[in-house]
């Protein structure tokens, strides 16, 4: 494997929008950072020194997104941005954010990827420090059959399989290695939700910032016109329809396995919280934020134990 240099963004990039779960509008700015800085968030609404490192040790919540917290400083739903920085090879960046939740934008990493790709990436004068494991790490959930396995490898790669026992989705797989162009194949894939979950999520004060432009909606079973009208009212849009393939007609899929690719996007973002770029082969089944973060913590625990 070729030894790469550390990289940062070529300039500052700003984005503004609603948080998926809180519905709060926030502005974030991705700023260049020096060698060895890693990825850190700064809550500018709290103060100049309200900085938190994007590390698994700081994760405080994994309910449908990944939250990091240090004292009074929290940042919610960091996974898409962390995935974009990972997929685009950004080692060092300071993320300014003026509210609690990273905006959902289009539900994928595409807005970040497009900005970074367009204006370039700056190579820095120090080699990238890969996270190399002395032995495999595996985390399992015996109840669900979910697992994440991370094993030493000269070339990084990710393989994921999802299975929601869904007639619409079926069993889907997705893969990334350095020969796959993240910006075109993974970063553009949007989050998804099942139609029957939407109302419950609203009632639990989640997806307040959700709309029909930032999520693929899977309609597992036929639904009544009344149900469609109710969901359309929640999202404040004209009445939606269930397509013959079982998806709501709010969006057109970017790939037949877009949902698996999005789960891969999430996995790459969550595992970046190991503290860097994994030089490892990652295999995951039915993974979500909770088991992803447990795996990231297990990696960090292993590395601490051999120091």
Residue range 250-279: average pLDDT? Answer: 96
Residue range 85-93: average pLDDT? Answer: 98
Residues 6+ apart with CB under 8 A from 230: 199
Contact 219, 167 (CB under 8 A): no
Residue whose structure tokens are 């502005």: 27
CA proximity to 136, closest of 121, 147, 146: 147
CA proximity to 190, closest of 102, 251, 149, 127: 251
The three-state (H, E, C) secondary structure of 40-102, written as one string: EEEECCCCCCCEEECCHHHEEECCCCCEEEECCEEEECCHHHHHHHHHCCCCEEEEEECCCEC
Contact 293, 169 (CB under 8 A): no
Helix (H) or strand (E) run with residue 160 in it:
strand 157-163
Angle at 245 between CA 251 and CA 158, to 5 degrees: 70
Reply yes or no on whether the pLDDT at 207 is more than 60.
no
End-to-end CA gap in the chain: 24
* Inter-CA distances, 108 with 28, 68, 77, 184, 216, Å: 16, 19, 12, 12, 11
d(CA 212, CA 232): 9
> pLDDT tens-digit profile of 129-172?
999 999 999 999 999 999 999 999 999 999 999 999 999 999 99
Reply yes or no on whether the pLDDT at 238 is more than 90.
no
Please state the separation of Cα 89 from the chain's center in Å: 15
289 is catalytic: yes
Task: Identify the weakest region by mean pLDDT among 18-27, 77-86, 154-163, 197-206.
Answer: 197-206
pLDDT of residue 306: 87
pLDDT of residue 65: 94
Query: Which of 21, 80, 262, 289 is flagged as catalytic?
Result: 289
Residue range 55-69: average pLDDT? Answer: 96
Contact 68, 58 (CB under 8 A): yes
Reply yes or no on whether the pLDDT at 208 is more than 60.
no
* Inter-CA distances, 166 with 162, 172, 194, 289, Å: 10, 10, 10, 20
Map out the domains of the chain with their CATH numbers.
5-129 (3.30.230.20)
pLDDT of residue 196: 82
Reply yes or no on whether the pLDDT at 210 is more than 70.
no
Q: What count of residues does the chain have?
A: 307
């Amino acid at each position: 494997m070729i030894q790469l240099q550390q990289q940062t963004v070529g300039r500052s990039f700003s984005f503004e929008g609603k948080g998926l779960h809180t519905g709060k509008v926030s502005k974030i700015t991705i700023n260049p950072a020096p060698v060895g800085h890693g990825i850190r968030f700064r809550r500018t609404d709290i103060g100049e020194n309200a900085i938190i490192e994007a590390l698994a040790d700081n994760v405080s919540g994994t309910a449908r997104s990944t939250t990091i917290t240090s004292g009074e400083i929290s940042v919610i739903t960091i996974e898409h941005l962390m995935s974009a920085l990972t997929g685009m090879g950004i080692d060092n960046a300071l993320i300014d954010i003026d509210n609690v939740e990273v905006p959902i934008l289009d539900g994928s990493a595409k807005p970040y990827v497009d900005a970074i790709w367009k204006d370039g990436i700056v190579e820095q004068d120090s080699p990238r420090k890969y996270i190399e494991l002395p032995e495999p790490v595996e985390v399992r959930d015996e109840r669900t059959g979910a697992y994440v396995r991370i094993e030493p490898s000269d070339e990084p790669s990710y393989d994921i399989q999802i299975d929601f026992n869904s007639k619409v989705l079926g069993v889907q797989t997705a893969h990334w290695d350095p020969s796959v162009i993240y910006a075109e194949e993974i970063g553009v894939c949007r989050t998804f939700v099942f139609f029957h979950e939407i109302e419950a999520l609203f009632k639990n004060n989640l997806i307040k910032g959700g709309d029909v432009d930032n999520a693929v909606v899977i309609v597992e079973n036929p639904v009544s016109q009344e149900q469609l009208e109710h969901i359309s009212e929640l999202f404040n849009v004209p009445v939606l329809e269930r397509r013959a393939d079982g998806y709501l007609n709010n969006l057109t899929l970017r790939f037949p396995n877009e949902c698996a690719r999005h789960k891969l996007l999430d996995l790459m973002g969550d595992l970046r919280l190991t503290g860097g770029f994994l030089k490892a082969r990652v295999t995951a089944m039915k993974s979500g934020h909770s088991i992803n973060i447990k795996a990231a913590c297990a990696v960090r625990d292993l590395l601490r134990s051999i120091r």
